Amino acid sequence: MSIHLLRRIMESLLILLGITLVTFLLLYLLPADPARQIAGRSATVETVENIREQLGLNLPLYQQYWHYLTNLLQGDLGRSYLQKTEVSELIASRLPATLLLMAGAIVCELIIGLTLGVISALWRNSRTDRILTLVSFTSVSAPQFVIGILLLYVFAVKLHWVPIGGYGTFAHLILPALTLGILGAGWYARMMRSSMIDVLEKDYIRTARSKGLSRGRILFRHVIPNAILPIIAMIGIDIGLFMSGIVVVESVFSWPGIGQLAWQAIQRVDIPIIMGVTLVSACAIVIGNLLADMVAPLVDPRIRIR
């Protein structure tokens, strides 16, 4: 187990290194010159050159990348070109909001997804099942922007139940978490449905039924606990899926997380922030996958690690 863990961590580090290289290359190829952006429209050519030199942008690519890596190892993500602040400071100030939103979204996702999945499986092939299948497919493929604006319009603007965007109280969290949750819930519903159907056909369920156990007891004691096992590993992987949704949802709901930071940086081609946020997201995905791998055998001993 510990060797496996070590190997997985090494692999993860290599993946992260690869991501820094690819992101660095992609941003380097962008036809936008940060020195010119900083220097502004009234700057002389000498001023631009001077700034380029101070930022080390005149160095060959491999040297720039090496500087980036050595700084990274010391925990230095660089300084934003346009916001003039340490990237680590910017990310640290926004990470709590994003983590809170993710936690809220996972709760929404599990509640909605699992409930729909259980209902679908119990009434398999009925009209309810077909409608729920349609709903879960639609929700998975719906643009976050549309769902977000729709919820905002109905619950904040028309009904005044929750505030229109912002951050700080539980009421602020409801809509963005729900938007992200609805979008992910479809996957959980599908997973839960098939997992439930699988369990329902197992011999031990038939035995339980023949023993005369009540329907509720069979469901909550035997079916759901067994059907839910594969779902747990999915939560880890889900963190990766969230990263893309979070950019849009945070922008729509004025949620001050790293998704919003990323969106602002992309629009303004603020390379150090884009690099920093990409790296943090990549870490989240890698750690999520790692956790999923590690937790799976703990909850289901049939899964063995070789």
Enumerate binding residues for another protein (CB under 8 A): 30-33, 36-48, 50-51, 54, 79, 82-85, 89-90, 93-94, 97, 152, 156-157, 163-167, 250-257, 260-261, 264, 266-269
| Alpha-carbon separation of residue 77 from 14, 18, 33, 168 (angstroms) | 18, 16, 19, 27
In angstroms, give the least distance from the CB of 182 to another protein: 19
Q: For residues 13 and 10, what is the distance between their CA atoms, to the nearest angstrom?
A: 5
Nearer to another protein (CB atom), residue 233 or residue 262? 262
In angstroms, give the least distance from the CB of 39 to another protein: 6
Nearer to another protein (CB atom), residue 189 or residue 248? 248
In angstroms, give the least distance from the CB of 146 to another protein: 13
Q: For residues 113 and 117, what is the distance between their CA atoms, to the nearest angstrom?
A: 6
Q: Residue 253 gets which letter from DSSP?
A: T
Nearer to another protein (CB atom), residue 75 or residue 216? 75
Contact by Cβ (8 Å): 226, 199: yes
In angstroms, give the least distance from the CB of 93 to another protein: 4
User: How many residues appear in the chain?
Assistant: 306
Q: How many CB atoms lie within 10 A of CB 169?
A: 10
Nearer to another protein (CB atom), residue 44 or residue 210? 44
Q: For residues 186 and 117, what is the distance between their CA atoms, to the nearest angstrom?
A: 9
In angstroms, give the least distance from the CB of 54 to another protein: 7
Nearer to another protein (CB atom), residue 51 or residue 199? 51
